Amino acid sequence: MFQADGYHVAVVGATGAVGQKMIETLENRNFPIQTLSLLASKRSVGKKVSYKGQEIEIKEATPEAFTGVDIALFSAGGSISKQLAKEAVVRGAVVVDNTSAFRMDENVPLVVPEVNEADIKEHNGIIANPNCSTIQMVAALEPIRKTYGLNRVIVSTYQSVSGSGTAAVEELKTQTKAFLEDKEMEANILPVKGDKHHYPIAFNALPQIDVFQENGYTFEEMKMINETKKIMHLPELEVAATCVRLPFFTAHAESVYIEIEDENVTVDQIKGLLKDAPGIVLEDDPATQTYPTPLKAQGKRDVFVGRIRKDLDRPNGFHLWVVSDNLLKGAAWNSVQIAERLVENNWLKK
Ligand code: NAP
Ligand code: 3JM
């Protein structure tokens, strides 16, 4: 089960929605692990989590917990990453960070392996995992950009509650039950945990994910805008985003409008590119009502694309529907993929 020639791996936020999927993904991928440290807050110390049939006790995430760790996967929120990621790095670990803490830092690569794998090797101890909504979109757009160029992106998202953690998942369950029993729905978590105003998510749609910025966009929208330009190495790319939370549990869907450089491209040519692209599954056949949905994408590692149409007014415009499991490709799987590339390419040590 544990390999003597494997790595010392730590998962920070091991009790959370993302952390749990990280542990599952490490297990499913048979990642070469010699020791596995599962770290969370003080509240969880002593809880047990199973890995390959063995019960592992949760320990508190402290600077000393990273002694001897080779690879640390962080998903305990931005403030924990800001406190502890560098503590892990000074102790010799390479950190794959799932939070927004370092994503726009120019010394930190921001990586979706299907798009910019080579950026991993430029790391200085920390590699950032992009936001879930960004990851699935850039994975779908990269094959198109490579062949036909990309000028503009306008995206609207349809995001599940698991993106806001286990408390939001519980809140949707409780509110749904209350609503169906004609009781008052209590809202304590969404749209932003810890914020002043809360709205019910059950039977609703919330056009706010993360906090508002001065320009009127939410932080989630600005993450999509800024991260897309960085990952695709297209600082001049025009990107606009509207991010919406909806009452389903897992996977995010996106309506993506793009303008490419070439005006003579057909829908079949775009489909041909996506059909053979790494990590992408094309599910697109109006005749048989075939297209991706969040329920079908749940539990899968791929990014699913369908509903590809040419814009009716602009010859270089296309519309796509992109769906993926936010906890897998959007978080845990993308992080484990980065860890796999680190060890396969011998990029752990500089
Ligand atoms: P969650 O279900 O609420 O889990 C939060 C995790 O953080 C739990 O394991 C929790 O441990 C741990 N934690 C909280 N306070 C801590 C502390 N003081 N010290 C150590 N650990 C602490 O949230 P989630 O959905 O898994 O998300 C976790 C983080 O991952 C998010 O805040 C976000 O930054 C990132 N994330 C990234 C993506 C992405 O798109 N890449 C997607 C979702 C989330 P306890 O159980 O002990 O409280
Ligand atoms: C997804 O520290 C926090 O408040 C976490 C907020 C958060 C983030 C983030 O900004 O790191 C919750 C859910 C993300 C993310 O992936 O960007």
Indicate if the pLDDT at residue 1 is higher than 80: no
pLDDT, residue 81, reads 98
Candidates 81, 95, 97, 100: which one to mutate for ligand 2, based on the most atoms within 8 Å of Cβ?
A: 100
Candidates 98, 209, 210: which one to mutate for ligand 1, based on the most atoms within 8 Å of Cβ?
A: 98
pLDDT, residue 170, reads 98
Residue identified by tokens 């599940």 is: 160
Contact (CB, 8 A) for 123 and 94: yes
Pick the CATH number of 134-326 from 1.20.20.10, 3.40.50.300, 2.40.50.180, 3.30.360.10: 3.30.360.10
Indicate if the pLDDT at residue 65 is higher than 70: yes
Question: Domain ranges in the chain?
Answer: 7-129+331-344, 134-326
Residue-wise pLDDT for 182-230, tens only, equals: 999 999 999 999 999 999 999 999 999 999 999 999 999 999 999 999 9
Which top CATH class is 7-129+331-344?
alpha beta
Residue with the smallest CA separation from ligand 2 atom 11 is: 99
* Band (350; pLDDT cuts 50, 70, 90): low
Contacts with 66 (C-beta within 8 Å, 6 or more apart), sequence order: 10, 72, 84, 87, 88, 91, 93
Indicate if the pLDDT at residue 22 is higher than 90: yes
Residue-wise pLDDT for 81-95, tens only, equals: 999 999 999 999 999
CA distance 257 to 321: 9
Residue-wise pLDDT for 108-153, tens only, equals: 999 999 999 999 999 999 999 999 999 999 999 999 999 999 999 9
CA distance 319 to 297: 20
Which parts of the chain fold into alpha helices (H)? 17-28, 78-90, 113-116, 132-148, 166-180, 219-231, 267-275, 294-297, 333-344
pLDDT, residue 349, reads 85
Contact (CB, 8 A) for 148 and 265: yes
Amino acid at 186: E
Q: Kindly give the distance from the C-alpha atom of residue 330 to the centroid of ligand 1, in angstroms, as a whole number.
A: 14
Classified as helix, coil or strand, 151 is coil
Contact (CB, 8 A) for 17 and 327: yes
